[in-house]
Amino acid sequence: MTTESIEELFLNGEEKMEKALNQLKREFGSIRSGRANPMILDKVVVDYYGAPTPLRQMSQVTVQDGTTLVISPYDKSIIKEIEKAIIKAEIGIAPNSDGIVLRLAFPPLTEERRKEITKDVRKLGEDAKVAVRNVRRDMADELKKLEKSENLPEDVVKDNQDEIQKLTDKYTGIVDSTVSEKEKEVLTV
């Protein structure tokens, strides 16, 4: 029973840390870095015959020449609605329409804007590390409960506390490297 409980504790903890990391990556995907990235459109919702529909479900989005997104709606009659939804989503880029497709040209970022984005990236990274540390705290609390309820030996508790810390260090390291990759991407002209 004891090893199963501890294994379950680690499985749940690692799963939560992985979720924090995945959330960080999703948020990084929607940050504009000067390069065209279709993920920036994930928050765009179009009013399609009265139903709010994600833009990427109703059109094909492709990257053209690295700095332009081309949006080809499956239903050409809603191109105006898509244009309104992009403007309403405030992604910082105005769409150009030719009646068949929409183009979003990503202008190069100014040095000042790159620095602002880098600060945002660091803040998101710090938030992810806080989430990982919160999972560590919850795991440690759960381990203390197991220690009391199942009379775990002190050395087993200590070994597991060390393992919890190693897991935390692993995920904070991954967050740090993910943050530095995104910073490099943002700062690359």
Residue 116 CA to residue 104 CA, distance in Å, equals 22
Q: Are 135 and 17 in contact (CB under 8 A)?
A: yes
Cα separation, 47 vs 81, whole angstroms: 7
- Distance, in Å, from the CA atom of 3 to the CA atom of 9, rounded to the nearest integer, reads 10
Range of the domain at 12: 2-30+111-187
Could you tell me the pTM of the whole model?
Answer: 0.72
- The model's pLDDT over 51-105, given as tens digits with 9 standing for 90+, comes to 888 988 899 988 888 788 899 999 888 888 888 888 888 777 888 989 889 998 8
What CATH number does the domain containing 151 carry? 1.10.132.20
Q: Are residues 137 and 101 in the same domain?
A: no
Q: What is the 3-state secondary structure (H, E, C) of 5-74?
A: HHHHHHHHHHHHHHHHHHHHHHHHHCCCCCCCCHHHHHHCEEEECCEEEEHHHCEEEEEECCCEEEEEEC
- Choosing from 105, 124, 152, the residue where a domain stops is 105
For the segment 12-55, what is each residue's pLDDT rounded down to a tens digit? 999 999 999 999 998 887 776 767 778 888 888 888 888 888 98
